[in-house]
Amino acid sequence: MESKVHLHLHVRDLDASCAFYERFFGVPPVKVRPGYVKFLPPLGPVNLALSEEPTVRGGPVGHAGIQVGSGEAVARELERVRAAGLAVRVESDVACCHANQDKFWVRDPDGLEWEVYVLNYDLPEPAPTAGASCCTGIGSP
């Protein structure tokens, strides 16, 4: 089995979150239990678990992301996610967190933002964060 990053999120509405991630990843969950679902999407090496927690008020995760290998991969995933009917925010040729990137963002039902991005090249200094969301994920898709 290949290595995967595991991310476990507590969500207020498991049905809404499951529907969002199914559309975002383009595949159904691999495991569904009362109060719990798990995704192993082909988009990236991630093992995403969701547990229902009706009192969620945010958490330590600022945003999540999937780094892909090319601008073409970003464009392909953007097209697929848009076709799934999700709102996206696109950022092209942005300086962010010591790198130049092309990316798009989506937001799950609990407000967690996901970026799908390609690292175009490293920058020697931190990028200014004025205007664009950069590494914070702050903004409106």
Q: How far is residue 135's CA from residue 44's CA, in Å, rounded to a whole number?
A: 19
Please report which confidence band the pLDDT of residue 65 belongs to, taking 50, 70 and 90 as the band edges.
confident
Please tell me the predicted confidence (pLDDT) of residue 97: 67
Read off the tokens for 10: 């507590």
* Eight-class DSSP state of 42: T
Please tell me the predicted confidence (pLDDT) of residue 132: 42
Phi and psi at residue 126, to the nearest 5°: -60, 145
Q: Which of 19-28, 41-50, 61-70 has the lowest mean pLDDT?
A: 61-70
- Say yes or no to pLDDT of 44 above 70: yes
Please tell me the predicted confidence (pLDDT) of residue 67: 87
Neighbours of 105 (CB within 10 A): 22
Domains in the chain (CATH in brackets) are 5-54+63-136 (3.10.180.10)
102: burial class by Cβ within 10 Å (0-12, 13-18, 19+)? buried
User: Which residue type does 3 have?
Assistant: S
Q: What is the pTM of this model?
A: 0.72
Read off the tokens for 52: 């229902």
Edge-to-edge strands, sheet with 36-39 = 5-11, 46-52, 36-39, 31-33
CB 132 within 8 A of CB 116: no
Q: Could you tell me which residue, 125 or 67, shows the higher pLDDT?
A: 67
**pLDDT tens figures, 80-122:** 999 999 999 999 999 876 789 999 999 999 888 999 999 899 8
Query: What DSSP element (H or E) covers 20?
Result: helix 14-25
Neighbours of 116 (CB within 10 A): 24
Share the mean pLDDT of the chain: 84
Please tell me the predicted confidence (pLDDT) of residue 57: 63
CB 20 within 8 A of CB 109: yes
Q: Could you tell me which residue, 136 or 9, shows the higher pLDDT?
A: 9
Q: Could you tell me which residue, 133 or 12, shows the higher pLDDT?
A: 12
Please report which confidence band the pLDDT of residue 64 belongs to, taking 50, 70 and 90 as the band edges.
confident
